[in-house]
Chains A and B, each alone.
Chain A
Amino acid sequence: MPVRRREVIQLRGDADVVRVRQTVRGVCTEEGFSLVDQTKMVTAASELARNTVIHGRGGVAVVESLEDGSRRGVRMTFEDEGPGIPDIDRALQDGFTTGHGMGLGLGGARRLVHDFQIQSMVGAGTRVVAVRWR
C-alpha cells in the first residue's frame, strides 16, 4: 500500500505527546479528513502516545498517510521497548487503569479508529498500529 507521507516523532515526554497530536492533525487535514474524523484521530494519538511515554518508558511514533486505490487514510504506529503488557485483553477493557488516567486509553483509542492492532511481549516492548480511513 503506497505511503504518501511519513513523519517520525521520538516520544520521551509530555511535550512529545503534544507534538504527535499536532503532526496527526496536520496529516489528517492534508488527507481531507472531516473535523470530527480529525478530532477522533488526534484524540486516539494522544492516548496512545501517552501510553508509550508513561508505560513504555518512551519510544517512537510514526504517522503515515496511505493510499489504497481510491481510499485515503492515516496510519499511526507507536513502538516502545518498555516492560510490555502481560494481559492485553484486560488492558483493553474500560476501567483498567494503572492510576494515571481514567482507564480509557487503550480501549478508547481502539474505538476511535477503524483498524487497531496491538502486539506486546513482556520484557521486550509494545507496538500499536491504528488506522482510520477517510
Chain B
Amino acid sequence: MGEYLLVTIQVDMHDQLALTLQDDLTAMISKTGARGVLIDISSLEIVDSFIGRMIASIAGMARILDAQTIVVGMQPAVAITLVELGLSLSGVRTALNVDKGMKVLRALLDTPAGEEPDARSTP
C-alpha cells in the first residue's frame, strides 16, 4: 500500500491486546514513515469505551507522527450503540469502507498543509 498502513482487527480483543496494537502501530508508523493509516473495524462486534479510547489515541499519536488515520467499516449496530454509550470519537475520521477510506486519505495527503478537506464531505 506504499505510504499507507492498513490494519484489520479481526479478533475480539482483550484490553492488553488493544494496548499492544496501539504500541505496535505507532512504532510501525515511525519505522515506515507512513503518511496514512486505515483501521478496518468491520469485524468488530462491539466498540466499548476502552476500544474507543484506543482508537482515539492511535489517531492522536499518528497525527503527531505526521500520519492521518481513517477508521473504516464500522457496523451499523456498533455505531448506534456508540452514540448511546456517549462516545462520539471526535477527532477520528471515518469512512464507510476501505475503498472510501483510501480516497479520503489520498485527498488529505494531496492537499497542501492548512487546507485539509473535511473527510466526511469527500465522495
Contact = CB atoms under 8 A, between A and B. Distances in A.
Interface of A: 14-15, 17-18, 21-22, 25, 35-36, 38-40, 42-43, 46-47, 50, 94, 100-105, 107-109, 111-112
A43 B15 contact: no
B15 A104 contact: no
B52 A39 contact: no
Interface of B: 12-17, 45-50, 52-53, 56, 75-78, 80-81, 84-87
A40 B49 contact: no
Nearest to A42: B46
Contacts of B77: 35-36, 38-39
Closest 5 CB pairs of A and B: A14-B14, A108-B85, A39-B77, A46-B48, A104-B49
Contacts of A39: 45-46, 75, 77-78, 80-81
B65 to A, nearest CB: 22
